[in-house]
Amino acid sequence: MDSGAPTTGKPNAAPFMQDNEVTSWLDKVSQRWRLGLIVLVLGVLVLYFLIAHNRGAQDPAADASPAIAHPVVPVAAAPAKLGNLNQYISAIGSVAAYNTVTVKSRVDGQLDKVNFIEGQIVKSGDLLAQIDPRPYQVQLLQAEGTLAKDEASLRNAKTLLARDKVLYEQQIIARQDLDNQVASVGNFAGMIESDQGAVANAKLQLTYSRIVSPLSGRVGLRLVDPGNIVHATDATGLAVITQLQPIAVLFSIPEDDLPRLQNALKTIGQLPVEAYDRELKHQLATGTLLTTDNQIDQATGTIRLKAAFPNEDHSLFPNQFVNTKLLVNTIRNTTLIPASALQRSQQGSFVYVVKPDHTVEMRSVKIAATQGELVAIDTGLKPGDLVAVDGLDKLQQGTRVNVQMAAIPPAGNTP
C-alpha cells in the first residue's frame, strides 16, 4: 500500500480544491472580458456621437430635410417680354440680275479699242469699245456729196420751171415741155429725200462704230480682244453686262401658303422680303415683293415669286443662293418667350416659371403663334414673368433653382 495514503479513513480533498481554484480563475477571466467588451461598445458609441455632432456643427443645413430631398438646380432663365411677333413664309431663292445684256457690234469692222476693265461698274452711255470708223466716215462723205449734187440739180430744175411757166403763158413752148419740167423738179426732190436717208444711214453706221453701254451694271470677262474683226452676226459678242442695282430674287412657296400671301397683299400691300445667307444667321439685304407668277407649277405644287432689292452695297450677286423670309403678318403687343422655354405634355403646353423664392412652378400656357426662336403666348403668362430656358430636364414642381439670366431673341418690328 502507498505510504502516502490517508490513514484517517476519509476521502482525499486535494483534487476538489484544485477544481474550485480553476473555476474561480475562469470566472474572473470571463468577468474581465465582459467588462472590456462593455467599455469598447461604450467607446464606439461615444465616438459616433462625437463625429455626428461635429458634422452637424460644420454643416448647419444638414438638418434641413427639404434641401436633402430637393437639391438646388442651376438653370438659365429669361423674362417674358411684350412685343411684336413677325410671321414669315420662308423659302430658298436664287438671285437674278434685273437685266442682262450681251454687248455686240452692230457693224462690221476691226476692233480698235476696248475701253472697259473686266469686272468694272459702268453706267448707261459709257463708251465700251471702238470699231474702226474710217469706212463709215467715207460712206458719210459720199452720201453728203450725192445730196449736195442733187440739191443743186433741184435748184436748177426749179429755175427752169419758173422760166417755162412764163414761156408757156406767152405760148412760146408747148404744154408738154412745161409738164416735163414739173416732173423733173419732183424727181430731184425725191432724189434729195433718198440722199438725206443715205446721209442719215451713214451717220448711224458711224455712230454704231462706237459701242456704248446700254445700261448701268457690271461688265463681265472680255470675250474679244482688240485687233480682231468683228461682225454684226457674231453670236458671242464683246462682253456681258448684268444690272446689279436693283437686283431680283426668285423663290417659290407652297401653294398652301397662297391664301396667306393673298390676304397679306390685301391688308399690308407692299410686302417686305429679307434675304439671308445659307445658315440663316446673317441678313444680307431687304427688299420688297415685286410680283407673283400667274399660275401654279403642277409638278411641284409651288408658285414662283419675284422680289426686288436695291442692292446698294452689292451684297447680292447673280445666281447666288439665299434664304428668303416674306413677311405676311405681325402679331402686335403680345407676350413673347424663347421657344426653348416651351414644354409639352399630354395635358398641353407648359413652362417652368421661376418664383421670387427661387422655386419653379409648372404653368400651363396657350400658344398664339410660333416663329423661329420666339413663341407668342396668348394666356398663362404676363410680361415680366421669369421662365426657365435651360436645364429643364431636372426640374419639377417646387424645385429650388439657381438662376442665370439668358437673352431673349429679338422679336423684330414691322418696317
Report pLDDT digits (tens) over 272-318. Answer: 999 999 888 899 999 999 999 999 999 999 999 999 999 999 999 99
User: What is the model's pTM?
Assistant: 0.64
Q: Is the peptide bond before 246 cis (omega within 30 degrees of 0)?
A: yes
Strands (E), 7-156: 73-79, 81-97, 100-103, 109-114, 121-122, 127-131
| pLDDT attached to residue 371 | 85
Report the pLDDT averaged over residues 132-136: 95
Q: What gap in Å lies between CA 381 and CA 393, rounded to an integer?
A: 21
Please give the grid coordinates belonging to residue 10. Answer: 476519509
- List C-alpha distances in Å: 275 to 243, 258, 269, 289, 413: 18, 20, 19, 12, 16
DSSP bridge pairs for 301: none
Q: pLDDT category, 125, cuts 50, 70, 90? A: very high
Which residue do the cell numbers 465700251 mark?
128
Residue found under cell 430674287: 249
3-state class (DSSP) for residue 177: helix
**What is residue 354's three-state secondary structure?**
strand
The helix (H) or strand (E) run that includes residue 123 is none
Higher pLDDT among residues 276 and 173, named by residue: 276
Burial class (CB in 10 A: 0-12, 13-18, 19+), 372: middle
pLDDT in tens, 318-339: 999 999 999 998 889 999 999 9
SS3 content of the chain, % helix, strand, coil (to 5): 35, 35, 30
